[in-house]
Amino acid sequence: MGGARYLSPGPLAPDLRSADERDKPSRNDSVVSQLSTVVGGPVGDHALIGRVRIWTPLRVLFVFTLIFLALGWASKAGCIQQTDGPDGKPTLDWHNGRQYVAMCYSDTVPLYGAERLDEGAFPYKKQWTEDTPDGGTETRYMEYPVLSGLYQYVGMQIAKAWDSAPLPGALQVVIYFNVIAVGLALAWLVTVWASAMLAGRRIWDAALIACSPLVLVHAFTNFDAIATALAATGLLAWARRRPVLAGVLLGLGGAAKLYPLLLLGPILVLSLRTDPMYRVPGYGSGLPRIRDIDSPTALMDWIRGIPTRIDLLALRPLGAAATTIAAAAGTWIAVNLPIAVLFPDGWREFFRLNTTRHADPDSIYNVITSFTGWQGFDGYLPHGVAPTILNLVSLLLFVVACLIIGYIALTAPRRPRLAQLCFLVIAAFLLTNKVWSPQYSLWLVPVAVLALPHRRVLLAWMTIDALVWVPRMFYYLGLDRKGVPEQWFTGTVILRDLAVIALCAVIVRQIYRPDEDLVRRDGVDDPVGGILDRLPDPPRPWLPAPLRPTGIGDRYRDSRVRR
């Protein structure tokens, strides 16, 4: 018996290694361990990890995502129900505040008519006149950034083509909603894929992005999934050391919603801390210089050398960051410039509305107003008049928050991970901004999972944030139709803000105590860091002493004494 051997019933795989370094949540997380009993319990001690050919982690994540997206679509389906109107023609069943009672409201449905898409109009070119609350009128245009506006236009064209074809029919707005929903679902699948790739050995953390309660409520509330997909793929390109592609994707994201451009700040600050500030050996050697251009041939030689220069520049952190920022700026300009030139008034509409917009119901400023009766920094203002002081205060608070985050990034004893700073910057923007539309919380989901992979903590915040939707809908319904008072809604907003602030506090704690960071266990540095991953702080610090990492000044002085 002792000498018996076992023969494999089939040929062995050429690679018999097990991905034992992969995080196993069914064995180290009590909640996941209990949930895993549905499929047989936690993974065994002798299991070969990473050997399954069909149900790979990524494919399982996609299944989870599709299930939650389907549930998210079902939560909005009540708002695309049809009924007969007074004239006997079919119309949307939004009678008696159904969109609020059923909690199925989605911006995409009313925007089809409000943005004149139902007329087949091209965004930013079409203008119309609306009545204002003060009894006047104003000229209006498409109010979304260029990429989001064009996405709506393409969705409208597909809906109209479907409606005119011999296919199963419905109201055009219903077809339009479903077309838009398909695109947003694909964008969220891309978000999950890119985040899973960024998670490294902790790929199962991305399950919380796929199964987030916020997906159930807000995946189809607005067009933000497009921006999350571009932001996540931009970070993935940075992680894979492709700074130009990272800049292009973040620039496209900024053309859909401005928030992906905020991620350039953490990239720049961490590169500033890590760059040794010396010239790359051999940089530019053998390449023609600008001063050598004296003929068309020399100019072409110089142009052909641009890719090589970019590759050499990206060998150092600050060079890679500068390349990404330049690519993002160039991409944003390239997308916006044609619309800005052809339809300047329509292009400016997004910026005009954001300037004249007052405090959003979800903003901290409106929360204070609802509980104290405070009239705001600017007091009462007529329609269309910009709240100048509120705009300034909001901007200054965000700048101060960014300065604090930058100080933390530069002085922490160990370089923070990029995802940690990205979460802090986006959270600071939302907390200090005068507008926090409910779907904006989707911005935080991917970076939160990458920055703080504590599943129960994140699930608690996401659940609180998602449940804010309930009092919001009944507040919008109105007290005359058995809605709830404003304070019921703003009270839950306070809970959400406190939850986000608590996440920020935990992340800052882990930045200063990296031994508590789950991602950095087992010798991992920064899976999202790209060129920054595993780079040490410069041995000869060049930053001013107050901005150096804790203790680096003492180490530098000791080295001088020893010499």
pLDDT by residue (tens digit) across 352-369?
999 999 999 999 999 999
Q: What is the CA angle 164-165-170, rounded to 5?
A: 65
Three-class secondary structure of residue 550 per DSSP: coil
pLDDT-derived band at 561, boundaries 50, 70, 90: very low
Does 284 have pLDDT greater than 70? no
pLDDT-derived band at 559, boundaries 50, 70, 90: very low
Does 553 have pLDDT greater than 50? no
pLDDT-derived band at 6, boundaries 50, 70, 90: low
Does 555 have pLDDT greater than 70? no
Is 176 exposed, middle or buried, given 0-12, 13-18 or 19+ CB atoms closer than 10 A?
buried
Please tell me the least confidently modeled range out of 124-128, 250-254, 274-278: 274-278
pLDDT-derived band at 13, boundaries 50, 70, 90: low
Per-chain mean pLDDT for the chain:
88
Distance of CA 440 to the CA centre of its chain: 8
Confidence at residue 125, expressed as pLDDT on a 0 to 100 scale: 94
Please tell me the least confidently modeled range out of 318-332, 380-394, 421-435: 380-394
What residues contact 390, with CB distance under 8 A and at least 6 apart?
A: 358, 359, 365, 376, 377, 378, 434
Q: Can you tell me the mean pLDDT for 47-51?
A: 68
> Would you say 319 and 276 are in contact if contact means Cβ atoms under 8 Å apart?
no
Please tell me the least confidently modeled range out of 72-76, 135-139, 203-207, 499-503: 135-139
Confidence at residue 507, expressed as pLDDT on a 0 to 100 scale: 97
Q: Which long-range contacts (CB under 8 A, 24 or more apart) does 36-43 make?
A: none
- The residue type of 242 is R
pLDDT-derived band at 43, boundaries 50, 70, 90: confident
> Would you say 101 and 109 are in contact if contact means Cβ atoms under 8 Å apart?
no
> Would you say 268 and 325 are in contact if contact means Cβ atoms under 8 Å apart?
yes
> Would you say 264 and 325 are in contact if contact means Cβ atoms under 8 Å apart?
yes
Does 300 have pLDDT greater than 80? no
> Would you say 73 and 216 are in contact if contact means Cβ atoms under 8 Å apart?
no
Q: Can you tell me the mean pLDDT for 444-456?
A: 95
Q: pLDDT digits over 80-119, tens only?
A: 998 888 887 888 989 888 999 999 999 999 999 999 999 9
Q: Can you tell me the mean pLDDT for 49-57?
A: 76
Give the pTM: 0.90
**Separation of alpha carbons 233 and 220, rounded Å:** 20
Q: Count of CB atoms within 10 A of residue 262's CB?
A: 20
- The residue type of 267 is I
Three-class secondary structure of residue 83 per DSSP: strand
Confidence at residue 1, expressed as pLDDT on a 0 to 100 scale: 46
> Would you say 138 and 217 are in contact if contact means Cβ atoms under 8 Å apart?
no
**Separation of alpha carbons 81 and 96, rounded Å:** 14
Cα distances from 114 to residues 101, 179, 355, 455, 459, in angstroms, run: 22, 18, 20, 40, 36
Q: pLDDT digits over 481-533, tens only?
A: 888 999 999 999 999 999 999 999 999 999 999 999 999 987 889 999 999 99
> Would you say 272 and 537 are in contact if contact means Cβ atoms under 8 Å apart?
no
Identify the H or E element spanning 322. helix 317-342
Higher pLDDT, 137 or 145: 145
Residue located via tokens 């709240």:
387
- Nearest CA to 410 among 558, 542, 515, 556? 542
Confidence at residue 54, expressed as pLDDT on a 0 to 100 scale: 78
pLDDT-derived band at 9, boundaries 50, 70, 90: confident
Confidence at residue 519, expressed as pLDDT on a 0 to 100 scale: 92
Confidence at residue 18, expressed as pLDDT on a 0 to 100 scale: 66
Does 540 have pLDDT greater than 80? no
Confidence at residue 498, expressed as pLDDT on a 0 to 100 scale: 97
Identify the H or E element spanning 157. helix 146-164
Does 279 have pLDDT greater than 70? no
Does 562 have pLDDT greater than 60? no
**Separation of alpha carbons 257 and 272, rounded Å:** 26
Does 299 have pLDDT greater than 80? no
Q: pLDDT digits over 150-185, tens only?
A: 999 999 999 999 999 988 888 999 999 999 999 999
- Nearest CA to 91 among 12, 170, 15? 170
Confidence at residue 510, expressed as pLDDT on a 0 to 100 scale: 96
Confidence at residue 11, expressed as pLDDT on a 0 to 100 scale: 74
Does 305 have pLDDT greater than 70? no
Confidence at residue 292, expressed as pLDDT on a 0 to 100 scale: 66
Does 190 have pLDDT greater than 80? yes
pLDDT-derived band at 226, boundaries 50, 70, 90: very high
Q: Half-sphere exposure of residue 284, counting CA atoms within 13 Å on the CB side?
A: 8
Confidence at residue 336, expressed as pLDDT on a 0 to 100 scale: 97
Of all residues in the chain, the percent with pLDDT exceeding 70 is: 86
**Separation of alpha carbons 324 and 122, rounded Å:** 32
- Nearest CA to 107 among 118, 97, 99, 96? 99
Q: Can you tell me the mean pLDDT for 391-399?
A: 96
First to last CA, the chain: 68
Confidence at residue 556, expressed as pLDDT on a 0 to 100 scale: 40
Confidence at residue 348, expressed as pLDDT on a 0 to 100 scale: 95
